[in-house]
Chains A and B, each alone.
Chain A
Amino acid sequence: MALIELRDINKTYNNGQPLHVLKGINLDIERGEFVSIMGASGSGKSTLLNILGILDNYDTGTYHLAGKLIKDLSESQAAEYRNRMIGFIFQSFNLIGFKTAVENVELPLFYQGVPRRKRREMAMEYLEKLGLTQWATHFPNEMSGGQRQRVAIARALITKPEIILADEPTGALDSKTSVEVMELLKQLNKEEGITIIVVTHESGVANETNKIIHIKDGIIGQIEENAGHNAWDGTMMK
């Protein structure tokens, strides 16, 4: 069984007029893959990301994550699964402003009930890995965008999740930093075998991944193998 197994996922929003956003998604993602989900806004890629991240429910179909059926979970269960199986990287970093870098990184462990000392130790370890040791006690607003995103990546990694979900991870970064962040993700995938799913509308970003899943009007269009990173000529990356 694949790490992620989506079977005929349907999702309709009922805000006044029913909006059928996902129209039968079937998708398998294997352990260790580095894939991107690409689509224009309104294509349903955000909804798919929400479902993959157990942030939202779907109407029909099945979603298995690491062999577990993710369906009709209670809020607490969903929180538990998110905490243990998914690492999020957000476009706007989503660090908590009044917490230092190290406090932000250790927060997921806090919700796991890991003792304070152990938590701090692990958080420092991950910060070191991302070259942020000297920034540990700084607040997010004292750091650059790239540094913030690296803190966020450390936070996503600290629980050793099954998958990393990155939602437009370079959307708020300049082109140089964007490249750095994508390189970092690539490296994590390659050296540590971490499964990474990047959701983006930028071809340049998608091109860095090994597989590009195109989504359009709520269905999966083409799945492009991109091991050579030549789906795009790369010049479009801003």
Chain B
Amino acid sequence: MRDLINEIWNSVRNNKLRTALTGFAVSWGIFLLICLLGAGNGIINAFQGSSDRFVTNSMDIMGGRTSLPANGYKEGRRINLDRGDLEIIEGKEFQDQVDKVAPVTSGVSDKMALGVKTVSTSMQGVTPQYLEIEKIQMDKGRFINPLDVEQRRKVVVLSTKHEKELDRNLVGKWVSMQGISFRVIGIYHSDESDWRTSAYIPYSTMKGIFKPGEEIDDIFITFNGVSNLEESLELENTISSRLKAHHEAHPDDPNAIWIWNRYSQNAQISQGQRLISIGMWILGILTLISGIVGVSNIMLISVKERTHEFGIRKAIGAKPGKILSLIIAESVSITAFFGYVGMGIGMLACEIMDKTLGQRSMNLGFDTIKMMDNPTVGLDVALEATLLLIVAGTLAGLIPAWKAAKVKPIEALRAE
């Protein structure tokens, strides 16, 4: 082993420029591979982060506007969800699949005041189930409970953002919205990238005070017994067609009822993540291949230069296998060493990416997501890349080694 290291060291020392150039090609390849994988992971994590904010087996159902004439109505009719829709969804037909149901009614955006301080906020009337469906994290106090809804209490749940803007200790205080005082009962967690900054009040309070009438803006449901994309789409379609029938809309009207199926969205995101990940690997490996070709090429030249030396070695008793393994070991050492240098720099670049791009958010209109979340590679990737480097080094050394092993010992007799 020590002899092999010595041999490699000698060869490297005697070919500094060659080694440096080869090393650069490999370092560059691995550097790009790690950067690509890091960026890919960042994008994937960002997507993941945004889909982690709700329960995947849930749907958000909204009324739309008809685009086909039906039952004597013209197209362009606005569909408002109502008690009837709620009854259908909660009814017998869906009782096996639909788990929780939460109607939501949104109020207008307006000012919310605490003493002389005001902030602008939207208001939503929700039921206790909403907490679980939308994965709301309570920082302080509690969420809306059944009693609040039953007694139409004038209570409100605010976000950390509200708290930051109004008062450090909001819970228990009274805020006023549209001239009516609400007692703050809890603070839920919202971060910079969160699209939720609503003030939540009991559903019944909303209906009683701000939005009388039948109208429901959203019905959130969770469901169970769905194990693949097709089944979730089937449930979506069944609900959609029942509700369309209830509103006398055309059965094929795509716009009468809007359903945001988070299950299918999540499946698509997972698919997208896989594609991104595969794409990054392919790009990275292609880059690495150019590095390998570089190593191979330079090793070939080196073998040619050393023909006489290999001839001498063979004349004094080196078996072809010894020469073969020497060249491959040399190739693997060069590839691995410079590969690790590239990997180190690549990981550093990922950290820099994390500190810059990773802190920036992107507004998608309906949602704000981070551009990148933790764009780094893990130990598993480092291990995979190590394996890749060894394979790459072997491949790069194979042809040159073969050539070296085939040098005839008679070469030793040729004068230089």
Contact = CB atoms under 8 A, between A and B. Distances in A.
Nearest to B320: A75
B409 A167 contact: no
B412 interface: yes
B141 to A, nearest CB: 75
Interface of B: 2-3, 10-11, 13-14, 308-309, 312-322, 408-410, 412-413, 415-416
Contacts of B313: 96, 107, 111
Contacts of A84: 317
B416 A111 contact: no
Given A79-B317, A108-B317, A111-B313, 20 more contacts: A46-B413, A49-B413, A50-B410, A55-B412, A76-B320, A79-B319, A79-B320, A88-B315, A90-B412, A90-B413, A92-B416, A94-B312, A94-B315, A94-B412, A96-B309, A97-B309, A108-B316, A111-B316, A111-B318, A159-B317
A53 B2 contact: no
A53 B315 contact: yes
Given A46-B413, A98-B14, A111-B322, A155 B3 contact: no
Contact of B413 (A55, A97, A112): A55
Contacts of A95: 312
Contacts of B415: 91-92
A80 interface: yes
A176 interface: no
B128 to A, nearest CB: 78
15 contacts: A50-B410, A53-B315, A75-B319, A75-B320, A78-B409, A80-B317, A83-B317, A90-B413, A98-B10, A107-B316, A108-B316, A110-B3, A111-B322, A155-B316, A167-B413
A55 B317 contact: no
Contact of A82 (B316, B320, B321): B316
A56 B317 contact: no
Nearest to B314: A79
Contacts of B322: 111
Interface of A: 46, 49-50, 53, 55-56, 75-76, 78-80, 82-84, 88, 90-92, 94-99, 107-108, 110-112, 116, 155, 159, 167
Nearest to B412: A94
Interface centre among A46, A49, A82, A155 (most CB of B within 10 A): A82
Contacts of A116: 2-3
A78 B314 CA distance: 9
B413 A50 contact: yes
Nearest to A111: B317
A95 to B, nearest CB: 8
Contacts of A96: 309, 312-313
Contacts of A92: 415-416
Contacts of B408: 55
A80 B305 CA distance: 25
Contacts of A83: 316-317
Contacts of A167: 413
B367 to A, nearest CB: 64
A167 B315 CA distance: 13
Contacts of A75: 319-320
A111 B313 CA distance: 9
A99 B10 contact: yes
A173 to B, nearest CB: 14
Contacts of A111: 313, 316-319, 322
Nearest to A156: B316
Nearest to B405: A75
B413 A79 contact: no
Nearest to B321: A76
Nearest to B312: A94
A160 to B, nearest CB: 13
B235 to A, nearest CB: 70
A187 B294 CA distance: 52
A80 B314 CA distance: 10
Nearest to B309: A96
A56 to B, nearest CB: 6
Contacts of A112: 317
B319 A80 contact: yes
Nearest to B318: A111
B3 A55 contact: no
B299 to A, nearest CB: 17
Contacts of A110: 3
B319 A76 contact: yes
Contacts of A98: 10-11, 13-14
Nearest to A88: B315
Contacts of B314: 79
Nearest to A159: B317
Contacts of B317: 79-80, 82-84, 108, 111-112, 159
B316 to A, nearest CB: 5
A55 B409 contact: yes
Interface centre among A79, A98, A108, A112 (most CB of B within 10 A): A79
Contacts of B13: 98
B319 A55 contact: no
B78 to A, nearest CB: 86
B382 to A, nearest CB: 34
A79 B323 CA distance: 12
A97 B320 CA distance: 21
A129 B354 CA distance: 67
Contacts of B315: 53, 55, 82, 88, 94
A94 B415 CA distance: 9
A108 B316 CA distance: 6
